[in-house]
């Protein structure tokens, strides 16, 4: 199969790459496997220095990498610059903390000496998505490389130039073949999991892809981490600062064109403040500037692909046909590119795609709740469990609410976001395992017990 990259702002085909054949895949896999042996025993200080070099290159070439992100997936250039900087920060975080995170831990036993030592597993296959084409790859690769693993990246097929640029960064900063990119299709990647030179797999992607990869990894008894879809609740309680809540909801739902697993996809409002909040929220949405993603003043670019826009619109139409009320947008933008109007659906209820499924695009779904208890019930009434937010003027109430939310990260008076210092991941159909922080670097290591009398 051919790997095709298009400009989603225009629909223009940019480049076509042939997918690697089985012989080429085998060659790259053998090169990475051989490099993995030396990398596993490289001192942590040297690994950290490599990560520092990667951070330096990211910043030195920030404008080029950001332009590539915008070109291939339509992210507004301002957000693309921030994504490149976040990758550099992530590399620095593990460069500064890997030694502490991987230090031997002495355990008090009746032996003369007992401790836990953390050793790399080998080669990690990282299957990554298009929506944050640099950050998703770096947040998986940086801790894995810091731990002494090698990494093979199978990136989304619509961002091959980003995938090759990421390989360029790591090849320039690390020993040869410790990190490589494979331009291959999903079925080829799935077959790779069975190869004995692959020791673990991590996937960020859809629930459907997650189930397939988990099954393939499980059949081979290989460690896997899955960060899948989300339908995050954004709850506004009666005592919330409504202006601030509307600002946060706008940022959370429409960042990256709404194409984020941790976007505020279900905005849950208690009835006493619902109309007041919606007036403020709708006013903010009307101010969002949609258009050319290469302009610094653009807030919202196109969706990444035509099929994604079509699927989103069908979900919107199906929700409206079953009773949801369109308050804004809810239509594709006419003309070139894959733009979808800033959209707001009200009166969303169970049985609608906007309630039950993940809407991956610039559509905000509003659900009415009777009170705080009902809002919590609705927040947890989802098969997903990635993140969630609650807005309230009472921090204690917010903390109690956050504890009761069924998700991997809950934010009080803030939008859900990833941070290298905090573990990131979900529960239920949003996956398992954690990326980032201490937990992320220890996902792909052997916690080995050493006991000496």
Residue numbers annotated as active site: 227, 261
Element holding 266 (H helix, E strand): strand 264-270
CA 449-451-453 angle, to 5 degrees, is 175
Q: Is beta strand 12-18 parallel, antiparallel or unpaired with respect to 2-7?
A: antiparallel
Residue 406 CB-half CA count within 13 A: 17
Burial 383-398 (b: 16+ CB within 10 A, else e): ebbbbbbbbbeeeeeb
From residue 214, how far is each of 35, 143, 152, 188 by CA, in Å?
26, 21, 17, 15
Nearest partner of 243 among 266, 276, 272, judged by Cα: 276
Element holding 33 (H helix, E strand): helix 22-40
From residue 170, how far is each of 25, 280, 285 by CA, in Å?
19, 45, 39
Cα–chain center distance at 356: 20
Nearest partner of 120 among 203, 219, 36, judged by Cα: 36
CA 247-251-252 angle, to 5 degrees, is 115
Q: Evaluate whether 178 touches 150 at the Cβ level (below 8 Å).
A: yes
**Phi and psi, residue 443, nearest 5°:** -65, -40
CA 186, 190, 191, 192 torsion: positive or negative? Answer: positive
Question: Edge-to-edge strands of the sheet including 223-227?
Answer: 179-181, 150-154, 123-127, 200-204, 223-227, 431-432
DSSP state of 20: P
* Burial bucket for residue 252 (CB in 10 Å: 0-12, 13-18, 19+): buried
Q: Evaluate whether 248 touches 254 at the Cβ level (below 8 Å).
A: no
């Amino acid at each position: 199969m051919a790997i095709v990259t298009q400009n989603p702002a225009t629909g223009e085909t940019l480049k076509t790459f042939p997918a690697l054949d089985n012989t080429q895949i085998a060659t790259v896999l053998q090169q990475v496997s051989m490099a993995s042996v030396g990398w596993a025993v490289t001192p942590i200080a040297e690994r950290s220095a490599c990560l520092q070099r990667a951070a330096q290159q990211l910043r030195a070439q920030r404008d080029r990498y950001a332009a590539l992100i915008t070109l291939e997936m339509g992210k507004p250039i301002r957000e693309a610059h921030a994504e490149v900087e976040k990758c550099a920060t992530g590399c620095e975080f593990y460069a500064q903390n890997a030694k502490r995170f991987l230090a031997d831990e002495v355990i008090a036993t009746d032996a003369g000496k007992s401790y836990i030592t953390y050793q790399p597993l080998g080669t990690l296959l990282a299957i990554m998505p298009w929506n944050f084409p640099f950050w998703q790859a770096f947040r998986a690769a940086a801790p894995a490389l810091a731990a002494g693993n090698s990494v093979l990246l199978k990136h989304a097929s619509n961002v091959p130039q980003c995938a090759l640029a990421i390989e360029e960064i790591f090849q320039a900063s690390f020993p040869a073949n410790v990190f490589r990119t494979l331009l291959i299709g999903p079925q080829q990647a799935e077959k790779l999991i069975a190869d004995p030179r692959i020791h673990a797999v991590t996937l960020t992607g859809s629930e459907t892809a997650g189930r397939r990869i988990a099954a393939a990894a499980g059949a081979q008894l290989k460690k896997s981490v899955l960060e899948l879809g989300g339908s995050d609740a954004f709850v506004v309680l009666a005592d919330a600062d409504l202006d601030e809540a509307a600002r946060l909801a706008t940022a959370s739902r429409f960042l990256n064109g709404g194409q984020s697993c941790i976007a505020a996809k279900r905005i849950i409002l208690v009835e006493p403040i619902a109309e007041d909040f919606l007036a403020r929220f709708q006013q903010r949405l009307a101010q969002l500037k949609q258009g050319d993603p290469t302009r610094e003043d653009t807030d919202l670019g196109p969706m990444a692909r035509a099929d994604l826009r079509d699927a989103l619109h069908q979900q919107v139409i199906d929700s409206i046909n079953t009773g949801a009320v369109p308050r804004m947008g809810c239509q594709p933008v006419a003309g070139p590119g894959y733009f979808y109007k800033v959209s707001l659906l009200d009166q969303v209820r169970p049985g609608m795609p906007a309630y039950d499924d993940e809407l991956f695009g610039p559509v905000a779904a509003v659900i009415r709740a009777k009170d705080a208890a009902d809002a919590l019930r609705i927040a947890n009434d989802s098969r997903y469990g990635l993140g969630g937010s609650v807005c309230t003027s009472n921090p204690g109430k917010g903390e109690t609410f956050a504890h009761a939310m069924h998700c991997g990260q809950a934010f009080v008076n803030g939008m859900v976001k990833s941070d290298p210092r905090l573990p990131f991941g979900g529960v239920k159909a949003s996956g398992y395992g954690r990326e980032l922080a201490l937990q992320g670097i220890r996902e792909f290591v052997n916690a080995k017990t050493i006991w000496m009398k």
